[in-house]
Amino acid sequence: MHPLFLVNRNRERNREHTPYRSHLFIAFSLLLLFCTQACAQKSFETDPYASKMKIKSDEAKLLQNLRVRARPGPLETPVGKKNEVQSDASPDAGSIPSSAARSQAKPPVDIEGKASSVKLLDSASSSRMVDDSVAVMPHEGKYSISATASGNLKKAILVNEKGLLLVSPKGAVPSFCSSATYLAFLVTLADLQKEKRLKLTKEDLEKLLYARQPDGVGVWGRWNANGPGTARLFQALELGENFTEIEDARRGDFLKIWWSDEVGSKEHGHSVVYLGTRTDEKGVQQLSFWSSNIPSGYGNKEIPLTKAKHLLFSRLINPQNLDRLSKLAPRDQYLVSMSSKSVTFDDVLKELGIPKK
């Protein structure tokens, strides 16, 4: 056979196999690329940064739940924090008295520094903001002082890496009275920060986090304490005004109710947000408030005003003074003592610098 014929024949065979070789090369290249990417990936469980990823996941959930609006439901039978008071429910909170002038509480005793000369909020706008915060709270969800309620409260409050306070009331169920009012307080602060009307450091905001602090310790420990917990916090940081006259109250003021003369270790009290008063068809004056109440949880309540033995209002006016938290004493010994002793309501007024009626 002629040699030239053999060369041409081999060239034709090579042309026939060339497409198949190209396909094999492409397939091999894709397989190699897939294997390289698969080996480079880390599983969430084995990633050493998994804890940070989890924090960002929790933050995303808080952002998703943030400001979910759920108006409080109809008024129900009233109850206190530790004891239960029954009365007929009624449909409305009624009219709200106008605010009058009142004396200022005495200066704080456990921080350094002076009060701000400029108020961030006036009395009316302050109360409206707290009232708006109540509007985004969940409805019902059951009342409980269990570990579940405590754990969910902790998860509902977060300070992110950018120093933003994120509050998700929707996740804080079940709940109890002081947890409900504390969340309303924090939602108000978060709104002010979002509107760039409140500037606090990340360190200051982290002092607001819930960590099961005992009574009288830190911010939550003061808020949750027996006796005048919230009022002592307002006094120490000069956050606003404390007073007792219901004629001076505005819808949205924080309110501590005592059901008896016992103040301290044996007290029966309730932490609430004041809604107003009205006179019912029988001529009985009714007191309306919002809180977490037995047994339903978040919601409005109404009681005959005579059922409340003592009232102590706290109005937020100077939230910017939370920048003093770094100077706040770790413990308020007066509130710490409330867990083991009893005092009179007159003693409370004296401690707060509020004149007797």
Angle at 123 between CA 122 and CA 125, to 5 degrees: 70
Q: What are 185-195's pLDDT values in tens digits?
A: 999 999 999 99
DSSP 119-142: -SS-HHHHHHHHHHHHHTS-SEE-
The DSSP line for 209-251 is: S---PPTTBHHHHHHTSTTTHHHHHHHHHT-EEEE--GGG--T
Query: What pLDDT shows up at residue 127?
Result: 81
Q: Which residues of 267-296 are buried (b: 16+ CB within 10 A; e: fewer)?
A: bbbbbbbbbbbbeeeeeeebbbbbbbbbeb
Please report, as a single letter, which amino acid is at residue 340: S
- Residue recorded with tokens 């002081």: 178
Instruction: Name the DSSP letter for residue 79.
Output: B
Tokens of 195: 């509107």
- pLDDT of res. 99: 36
Omega prior to 91 cis, within 30 of 0 = no
State which residues of the chain have pLDDT below 70.
1-121, 123
Residue 323 near residue 335, CB atoms below 8 Å:
no
User: How confident is the model at residue 126, as a pLDDT?
Assistant: 75
- Domain extents in the chain: 56-94+104-352
What pLDDT does 26 receive? 59
Query: Which amino acid does the sequence have at 333?
Result: Q
- Give the pLDDT of residue 32: 53
Strands 165-167 and 157-159 turn out to be antiparallel
pLDDT of residue 4: 44
Identify the CA nearest to 302 among candidates 275, 268, 270: 275
